């Protein structure tokens, strides 16, 4: 069974760009504006000869109220629980921020392997940020450029090393699911319907229109039938 990898970090550090690169196609929206990704997204991908189930997440915000940002944080928390391995991404150009430190403290309580990624390391300006990353406490950061594909060999080596102690149960490939698309105008209740069907708060919902910005695949089983 594929290694389940959660890609996490504060907003706009390049998580979705790395997700798309490892998946091999542009599934997640990518934009210079923070907060484009809001739900967590799953897709099959690989690095080298390793099969992965990748989880793209919203940017982590240190808020616990009823706001949209707080609900996005809850989606990231769910991805942390679900993943076997965590890729913690920071922006090497900007260096370590207070939110990076807060999130690092949260990850240390997770008791799962964490690989620290210093993204956007293709420029000279990123050197200082890579050095600062050691202070987050996850050992030597892996310098990458998700946009340009640099550092993927180093990332592969880090994933192989970190996954050595992770037991992944081998299971038979499930039957091909029935694929259902739920569509409609903004704020009509599509995500609420999905949550009701699967019996969990898998999708962000709320009074704000346009919370879901791109297509999200959700796997569900009903009376023995696999559905996506």
CA triple 167-173-174, angle to 5 deg: 115
* pLDDT of amino acid 213: 61
Q: pLDDT band for position 12 (50/70/90)? A: confident
Is pLDDT above 60 for 38?
Answer: no
Element (H, E) at 116: strand 114-119
* pLDDT of amino acid 66: 67
Residues in the chain, overall count: 228
* pLDDT of amino acid 171: 52
pLDDT in tens, 167-192: 665 555 557 888 888 888 777 888 88
Is pLDDT above 90 for 143?
Answer: yes
Domains and CATH numbers, the chain: 3-163 (3.40.50.300), 190-227 (no CATH)
* pLDDT of amino acid 172: 54
Taking CA atoms, 160 is separated from 115, 154, 166, 197, in Å, by 11, 10, 10, 37
Mean pLDDT score, 42-61: 90
Place of tokens 């102690």: 165
Is pLDDT above 90 for 8?
Answer: yes
Quote the tokens at residue 97: 């921020």
Sign of the four-CA dihedral 18, 110, 112, 198: negative
Mean pLDDT score, 53-60: 87
* pLDDT of amino acid 181: 85
Is residue 223 within 8 A of residue 178, CB to CB? The reply is no
* pLDDT of amino acid 62: 66
pLDDT-above-70 percentage for the chain: 82
pLDDT in tens, 195-209: 888 888 877 777 776
Is pLDDT above 90 for 150?
Answer: yes
Place of tokens 């030597």: 140
Specify the higher pLDDT residue, 114 or 125: 114
Q: How far apart are CA 30 and CA 15, in angstroms?
A: 9
Q: How far apart are CA 22 and CA 26, in angstroms?
A: 10
Taking CA atoms, 170 is separated from 44, 167, 174, 219, in Å, by 16, 9, 12, 19
How, if at all, do strands 85-91 and 114-119 pair? parallel
Q: How far apart are CA 168 and CA 4, in angstroms?
A: 9
Average pLDDT of the chain to the nearest whole number: 83
* pLDDT of amino acid 35: 46
Is residue 31 within 8 A of residue 15, CB to CB? The reply is no
Q: Could you write out the DSSP letters of every residue in 29-88? A: ---SSTT---S-EEEEEEETTEEEEEEE-PPP----SSSHHHHHHHHHHHHHHH-SEEEE
Quote the tokens at residue 42: 């799953």
pLDDT in tens, 76-118: 888 899 999 999 999 999 999 999 999 999 999 888 999 999 9
């Amino acid at each position: 069974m594929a290694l389940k990898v959660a890609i996490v970090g504060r907003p706009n550090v390049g998580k979705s760009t790395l997700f798309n690169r490892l998946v091999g196609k542009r599934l997640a929206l990518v934009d210079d504006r923070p907060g484009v990704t809001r739900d967590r997204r799953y897709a099959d991908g690989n690095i080298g000869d390793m099969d992965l189930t990748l989880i793209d997440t919203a940017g982590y915000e240190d808020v616990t109220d009823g706001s949209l940002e707080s609900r996005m944080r809850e989606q990231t928390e769910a991805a942390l629980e679900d993943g076997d391995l965590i890729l913690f991404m920071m922006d090497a150009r900007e260096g370590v921020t207070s939110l990076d430190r807060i999130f690092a403290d949260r990850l240390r309580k997770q008791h799962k392997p964490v690989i620290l990624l210093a993204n956007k390391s293709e420029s000279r300006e990123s050197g200082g940020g890579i050095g600062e990353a050691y202070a987050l406490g996850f050992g030597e950061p892996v310098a990458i450029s998700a946009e340009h594909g640099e550092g993927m060999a180093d990332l592969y080596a880090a994933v192989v090393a970190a996954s050595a102690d992770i037991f992944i149960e081998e299971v038979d490939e499930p039957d091909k699911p029935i694929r259902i698309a739920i569509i409609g105008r903004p704020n009509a209740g599509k995500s609420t319907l999905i949550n009701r069907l699967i019996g969990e708060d898998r999708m962000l919902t709320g009074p704000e229109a346009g919370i879901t910005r791109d297509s999200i695949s959700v796997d569900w089983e009903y009376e023995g039938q696999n559905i996506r």
